[in-house]
Amino acid sequence: MKTWGYVRAVLWGFFGVRRRAAAGDELAKAQPLVLIAVAVALAAVFGLTLYGLANLAVQALDT
């Protein structure tokens, strides 16, 4: 499974809108540790993005 495949699988998992058969096929090909690492990385990017946007909003309100 390529990197983009792992990212897609994790994003579909975050949104929770994946057909059971397609998810089963993808998970059968995936390596669990790589899948977990991609999920942690994407969650960190999402969290840091929200943190950055919140800081920008607070700074805009202070001026």
Q: How many CA atoms lie within 13 A of 32 on its CB side?
A: 0
The number of angstroms, rounded, from the C-alpha of 51 to the middle of its chain's C-alpha atoms is 16
61 versus 43: which is more confidently predicted? 43
Q: What is the pLDDT of residue 36?
A: 93
For 2-51, write each residue's pLDDT tens digit: 888 899 888 888 888 777 777 777 778 889 999 999 999 999 999 999 99
Cα-Cα-Cα-Cα dihedral sign, residues 44, 46, 47, 52: positive
The residue range of the domain holding 53 is 3-62
Domains in the chain, number = 1
**Residue 40: both structure tokens together:** 């942690």
